[in-house]
Structure 1
Amino acid sequence: MQVGLYFDLRNPPERRQDPTRLYGFTLEMCQEAERLGADSIWVTEHHLFDDDYLPQPLTFAAAIAARTSRVRIGTGIMIAPLHAAVEIAEQAAVVDIISGGRLDLGLGAGYRIPEFELFGADPAKRYGATDRRVRELRQIWAEGRVTPRPVQERLPIWLGYLGPQGARRAGLLGENLLSAFGPIAEPYRKGLAEAGHAPETARMAGGIQGWVSDDPERDWPVIGGYLAYQLDSYRRHMVEGTGAPMPRPVDPDRVRAREASKNPIDYFHYGTPEEVASGIRAFVGDAPVDTVYLWASLGGMPADLVARHVDIVCTRLAPLLRETSAPAASSAR
């Protein structure tokens, strides 16, 4: 199993950093992660967050590509209904060229009402729109309707669907599934078979909500605070525009104690490298997961905490997980 790191470039108002320095430091951490042996770097997309959450993942992916030479670079995810297929096709091709063929294009349906309003998109049709973008992208690249073409002959597309119905949709499209939650492997394989794709081509990867520490109890008062900020931020922004009441603040201790599930804001793997590796193996099970990635930073952490976590993920956790083979998953890129 390969291991990567995940960045969202949050910059909370109450501890705001110079954004130029934050972006520069994050690129330095991407370079450091590569030097320490990370297999991949992932970035994501949201709009109108009050902490300046990264809004343009492919733009930042191009910067990562220019500063690295080996790691895979993924979007986890890009919100497909907010972007025209031609726009995605062109931007992805540019990143793939800059990186020498290292892009993994993760796409998802999104959920935030203000984001759909910002782009004039219909949230009620987001799943159909996401499926359609995938079909359009494959057709655009196959027919050479935009130039330049990606370096990779078949640029990997990953669908960030979390539940069994979404997993089946990814299978029907014949694409990779961007979830590491083992129980949805079966509907994913069934979707592949239903659409005439070989079930043994099933390939999964995904983000793991968690943090690794060499002294978990010492670090928890600090890490728990940043986790609470991050989860409260997601929950607060999730209900904007829906008319739903503002959620109550989370209790990070309760989140830490919960059993892992498909919902990424309901659990948190926390502990030593050995403990987190064990939790990830249980989360994945026998699913064909070949890559997992963890947050490099939570809630706008200071640089020293981020650097320490990048180091422990790459040098302590990754070797433990690389001993875990993903059955039925191809490691070919």
Structure 2
Amino acid sequence: MKIGVFSVVDHYPQELPRTVGQYYAELLDSAQLAEEVGFDSFWIAEHHFHEYGAIPSPAVWMAAAAARTRKIRLGVGVSVLPFHNPITVAEEYAMVDVLSGGRLEFGAGSGYLKHEFGGYGVSLEEKHARFDEALEIIERAWSGERFSYRGRFNQIDNVQLQLQPVQQPRPPILIATLRHEAAREVGARGYPLLTIPYAQSPGLHQLTEMTAEFRAAWTAASHGDPSRTTLGCAVHTYVSSSAAEIEAHAKPSIERYVRTRLYATSRPYDVLQEKELIACGNPEQVTKVLKDYERAGFNTFLTIMDFGGMDHQAVMKSIKLFGREVLPAFRD
């Protein structure tokens, strides 16, 4: 199982004294530490106009992270394609791949937050069509070919990117979804999958059904062995050997995070723990949750370590302990 760190970069300027600049610096420290203790990847999200996420342009932060790290893979989870010119997206993330020496993981999504679509003047009803056009253009741009494109939203004349990604034929492209029917579609199209279980899923049983449906659609569409592609989930994680620290750090941070979410099913901390939609506990308890996700069909587990305004030192301590006590259980 591949294991990474993911941050939504949820920021609470009305509640906490941390500035955005301080947060960015803390994230860079976290990425560097994650590499040192053996995580496979470090991911950040793109969000706009709300405390839900403080990074509107992930490629900029990822370029800084590329300079601070050497081997950990760097992921965007996700680039919201309907908001952007796809040629610009292709160029910016090609730069990230070049600056990182070929470490880009490109997560793509169509978006879901109404206020973000309003801010960009994009219709929610058009998001799937815009996403499909943008993804096709990005893939063609990364192929190195000279091409033209005539679509509903994009008109491109005889263009060829002068900057190409290091990874060939292109960097990994993963598609994010929260729904079973969308997971089937992603599998049928032959793309790796990312999901955040706590947002909509009732529990691990339904997630097991989702991964099975993805693999069935993948196989039916003749994409080869589905076990060779990425099936990833991002789960809020805090690990400590102290029950008092878990109570002091994880519980209030989860409660703040859930209280301010704009789309997720709102459930209490204890319910999320019981259903294993979060992984907060001692190393043995957290290891068990990861093993359960592995049995549910996931082969990539992204730990959301920094959430709800959690103290940075608590985040760093959790990353260190996870690296020392949990990661070895998933290494050959």
Under TM normalisation by the shorter chain, which class is it?
0.7 to 0.9
* Inter-partner Cα distance in structure 1 for 2:102 and 2:6: 19
Written as runs of structure 1 = structure 2, the 5 A alignment for 1:100-115 is 100-115=101-116
Aligned to 2:215: 189
Paired with 1:229 and 1:110, the residues of 2 have a C-alpha distance of 23
Is the contact between residue 62 and residue 99 of structure 1 (CA under 8 Å) also seen in structure 2? yes
Contact 1:173 1:192 in 2 (8 A): yes
Q: How far apart are 1:51 and its partner, in Å?
A: 6.3
Partner of 1:297: 306
Task: Go from structure 1 to structure 2 and tell me whether the alpha carbon gap of 1:217 and 1:303 turns closer, same or farther (over 3 Å shift).
Answer: closer
1:202-241 to structure 2, matched below 5 A, reads 202-234=229-261, 237-238=262-263
Aligned length: 305
The CA distance in 2 between the partners of 1:132 and 1:190, in whole Å, is 26
The more displaced of 92-101 and 299-308 is 299-308
Q: Indicate the residue corresponding to 1:252 in structure 2.
A: 269
Shift of 1:146: 1.8
Bigger shift: residues 189-198 or 33-42: 189-198
Distance 1:2 1:58 in 2: 22
| Aligned Cα root-mean-square deviation (Å) | 2.2
- Return the offset for 1:48: 1.1
Structure 1 counterpart of 2:329, from 317, 320, 325: 320
Show the counterpart of 1:87. 88
Shift of 1:108: 1.5
SS of match in other structure, 2:5 = strand
- Once residues 182 and 58 of structure 1 are traced to their aligned partners in structure 2, the CA distance between those partners, rounded to angstroms, is 32
| Structure 1 position 72, deviation (Å) | 0.5
Q: 1:320 to 1:284 in 2, by over 3 A?
A: same
Rounded to whole Å, the distance in 1 between the matches of 2:295 and 2:57 is: 33
Structure 2 unmatched runs, 5+:
147-159, 197-206
TM-score (norm 1): 0.84
Contact 1:228 1:250 in 2 (8 A): no
Q: CA deviation at 1:52?
A: 5.5
- Superposed, which structure 2 residues align to 1:61-210 within 5 Å? 61-142=62-143, 143-144=145-146, 145-153=160-168, 154-179=170-195, 181-200=207-226, 201-210=228-237
Letter in 1 for 2:249: V
Query: Structure 1 14/299 Cα, relative in aligned 2: closer, same or farther at 3 Å?
Result: same
Checking the alignment, whether the CA contact within 8 Å between 1:188 and 1:202 is kept in structure 2 is no
Q: Look up the match of 1:274.
A: 284
Using the TM superposition, give the Cα deviation of residue 61 of structure 1 relative to its aligned residue in structure 2, in angstroms. Answer: 1.1
1:213–1:272 CA contact under 8 A, matched in 2: yes
In structure 1, the gaps of 5 or more residues are 240-246, 261-266, 324-333
- Give the SS at the match of 1:31: helix
The 1:199/1:126 distance shift into structure 2, 3 A limit, reads: farther
Distance in 1 of aligned mates of 2:176 and 2:62: 18
SS in 1 for 2:299: strand
Residues 79-104 of structure 1: CA deviation (Å, up to 9, x unaligned) = 22222221211111000000000000
- CA shift at 1:250, angstroms? 5.0
Q: Residues 294 and 84 from structure 1, CA distance in 2 versus in 1: closer, same or farther, beyond 3 angstroms?
A: same
Identity score, percent: 26
CA contact (8 A) 1:112 1:238 kept: yes
1:330 corresponds in structure 2 to none
